[in-house]
Amino acid sequence: MKAVRVRNPASLDSLEVVDIADPAEPGPGEVTVKLYASSLNFHDYAVVAGMIPTEDGRIPLSDGAGEVVAVGEGVEEFAVGDRVISTFFPKWRAGAPPMGSFETTPGDGIDGFACELATRPVEAFTHAPESLDFLGAATLPCAGLTAWRALMEDGKLQPGQTVLIQGTGGVSLFALLFAKAAGARVIATSSSDDKLGTVRKLGADHTINYKSNENWGEEAFEWTGGRGVDHVIEVGGPGTVNQSIAAIRPGGHIHLIGVLTGRSGEVETAALMRKMGRLQGLTVGSRAMQQRMIAAIDANGLKPQISDRFALKRLADAFRHEESGKHLGKIAIEI
């Protein structure tokens, strides 16, 4: 089969398209999946660009969508012909979060889905939404589930609440999608006025350019009539969290998802305390959360925002496009 591998030292130039042996037939409790699509996440970029150390020859990409082509002994959950998507934490089936580790995450601790076939234990997949094609379905396991978990599982988002999304990347546009479906108002920020025009068309109620208005958190607070924002999708980290504190209502929830501005920094802890705000870190979600998200996507006909598509053999170009920041929502990979 065709696959893409990362060579050490990892960089976008080190990605190579190779022919490798097909995976083994599925053993007990395993399935073999023919992959049709994947999508890019910042985490994948960090692996292929050498920011997160990985094994020489690792197959990147945590997201995969495809069709079951063989099932091993004892497999009851899937049958040949079923459409499936991957899970980010295959061993986290349900319940409380485990210790944060990427040991079993595809494209990081184990091989990912930049390839045509994969044989894995059943927990490495769930059924795909019936309402999405493979490209749409492949955007869900990392970015989609992170936004779903933040707002719907941890945040218990209510109709009429206000959600602030930072930037227009994959996670943030999923948060826009889920928030609007749940009857919430959305404030979107971006470095680009053009992108803000697009997110207004996608349903954002108010937009702020975070480059031209450094006090975007205060503007967001005022836009709510002085009540404050209920949820912030925090992808910036230390460079943005103080404006997020300014934006929230008393008791508001900052979902700390990304650290695009750096790994550590000064947090205005007194302001957070005065606001009685909740700052919660999270990484993706469990298999059970993914199944609930898929049910909601099917019930509401929700469509992920994909701005660009690349063939697998052009994976390095796809990552260069992500690096340029020109995308809006997801970059999909056709396998």
Ligand X SMILES: NC(=O)c1ccc[n+]([C@@H]2O[C@H](COP(=O)([O-])OP(=O)(O)OC[C@H]3O[C@@H](n4cnc5c(N)ncnc54)[C@H](OP(=O)(O)O)[C@@H]3O)[C@@H](O)[C@H]2O)c1
Give the footprint of ligand X on this chain (CB under 6 A).
41-43, 142-143, 146, 166-171, 189-192, 195, 210, 235-236, 239-240, 257-261, 282-284, 322, 325
Nearest approach, Cβ of residue 92 and ligand X (Å): 12
Shortest separation between residue 171's beta carbon and ligand X, angstroms: 4
d(CA 17, CA 19): 7
Chain centroid to Cα 140, Å, comes to 7
Rounded Cα gap, residues 70 and 76, in angstroms = 12
Residue closer to ligand X, measured from CB, 117 or 173: 173
CB of residue 100 to ligand X, shortest distance in Å? 9
Q: How far is the CB of 243 from ligand X (least distance, A)?
A: 9
CB 72 within 8 A of CB 107: no
Q: Which candidate, 142, 93, 92, places its Cα nearest to that of 113?
A: 142
Copy the structure tokens of residue 125: 């997949």
* Closer residue to ligand X (CB): 191 or 269: 191
Q: 143 or 335: whose CB is closer to ligand X?
A: 143
Compute the distance between CA of residue 143 and CA of residue 58 in angstroms, rounded to an integer.
Answer: 21
Q: 119 or 207: whose CB is closer to ligand X?
A: 207
**CA distances to 55, 121, 256 from 232, in Å:** 35, 35, 8
In terms of Cα–Cα distance, which of 177, 203, 207, 173 is closest to 192? 207
Report how far apart, in Å, the C-alpha atoms of 28 and of each of 32, 88, 120, 235 are: 11, 22, 10, 40
Report the residue number, 24 or 324, with the smaller CB distance to ligand X. Answer: 324
CB of 211 to ligand X, least distance (A): 8
Cβ-closest position to ligand X? 169
Min separation Cβ 2 and ligand X, Å: 25
Q: Cβ closer to ligand X: 41 or 290?
A: 41
